[in-house]
A = this chain, B = another copy of it.
Amino acid sequence: MTDRIPVAQLRRFITTCLEKLGLPPQDAATVGHLMAEAEAQGSDGHGVIRLIPYSKRIRAGGMNLTPNIKVVKEKAAMALLDGDNGMGHLVMQRAAQIAIEKARNCGVAWVGARLSNHAGPASLYARMALEHDMIGMYYAVGNANHLPPWGGLDMLLSTNPIAVAVPAGEEPPVVLDMATTVAAYGKVKAKAQRGEQMPVGWMIDRKGEPLTDPKRSEEGFLMPIGGYKGYGLAMVVGLLAGTLNGAAMGSETIDFNKDIVSVTNTGQAICVIDPDAFGEVAEFKARVDKLIRELRASERMPGVDRIWMPGEQSHAKRLANERDGIALPDALLANLHTFADDLGVPRLSTQSSRA
């Protein structure tokens, strides 16, 4: 992991691969931008690691390369999108744009989607509100069930993530992006890819024993945060992002790792609030700054160097990666080289870290 790839090069590489796979150039560029952005902010479970799985689904005919993404239901402050089985990034970027426009008029807006697909990290879409000085919230049904109901053994729920992005003034925005499980399944896969063990508490096996080998993840399930609370959160997020939209939920969820052909009917939702409707935006952002600063200035527990805000480490990673380039794990880079050769596109060329 010593060589670094400029973000712009990674973006072009992903875009070129997706074009080669058959996406229209504009759509390939949109997805390439968002996947590189995910990688740049450190969402390594949702970044370029997904390119090869996406390509398998595309080649198997499991995703629509030229979807007719359309609004099927609409009111002043809401819309329901039919994603026509297109890439989730395209569906949810559109959803965010509509929600931002409607929030500007109505103060708040909610846009749901069905027949979407995996769209990368939740925070990508919540963050789209920030450049409009708005608050973004994102909810999604995960694309594989790894969580049983509390007390149960049948994996009927996914990690159903939540993201909330709140603009600040001089401080970085507050961006919470969390699975409703202790760890996201993407993090389990990243551990497996790196040959690392998982901490106790991420997963248990069917007998309730800790499971720490990510290569054995099929034998167990993820643990919800706060026990029954996380189970409840995963369920209501799924009701909001899936069931409400007529998207898959519970046993309807397609495990996109095992089944690369069936339509996933992925459900997602975005809610945008315009703080301008509530008062002076500058005053709101100043209040956010004040809160951040007083939390950061708290007396610390022994051994704690710094108190971080939600999203602050991702923000720092994004700045560093945009400056220095992105370091990809060797195994992933090797896979991407093979993939590029196979597709007939130029390999990613790494550069030495800044001297």
Contact = CB atoms under 8 A, between A and B. Distances in A.
B149 A284 contact: no
A151 B300 contact: yes
15 contacts: A76-B105, A77-B106, A78-B108, A112-B278, A149-B296, A151-B300, A152-B295, A153-B300, A166-B240, A174-B236, A178-B226, A225-B229, A236-B310, A249-B287, A250-B294
Interface in A220-248: 225-226, 228-233, 235-236, 238-240, 243-246
Contacts of A174: 235-236, 239
Interface string A175-199: 0101000100000000000000000
A74 B108 CA distance: 11
Contact of A225 (B153, B226, B308): B226
A309 B307 CA distance: 36
A230 B239 contact: no
Interface centre among A77, A238, A250, A271 (most CB of B within 10 A): A77
A147 to B, nearest CB: 11
B135 A107 contact: no
Nearest to A156: B295
A164 interface: yes
A250 B105 contact: no
A294 B156 contact: yes
Contacts of A138: none
Given A284-B243, A298-B154, A75 B226 contact: no
B153 A310 contact: no
A182 B226 contact: yes
Contacts of A249: 287, 291
A258 B294 CA distance: 22
Contacts of A157: 295
A243 B291 contact: yes
Nearest to A99: B108
A73 interface: yes
A83 to B, nearest CB: 15
A293 B156 CA distance: 11
Contacts of A182: 226
Contacts of A290: 250
A299 to B, nearest CB: 4
Contacts of A106: 75-78, 106
A122 interface: no
A208 interface: yes
Interface string A32-67: 000000000000000000000000000000000000
A111 to B, nearest CB: 9
Contact of A301 (B77, B151, B304): B151
A26 to B, nearest CB: 29
A115 interface: no
Contacts of A309: 235
A250 B151 contact: no
Given A208-B301, A308-B150, A135 B279 contact: no
Contacts of A78: 106-108, 273, 277-278
A244 to B, nearest CB: 6
Contacts of A151: 300-301, 304, 306-308
Interface in A87-114: 105-110, 112
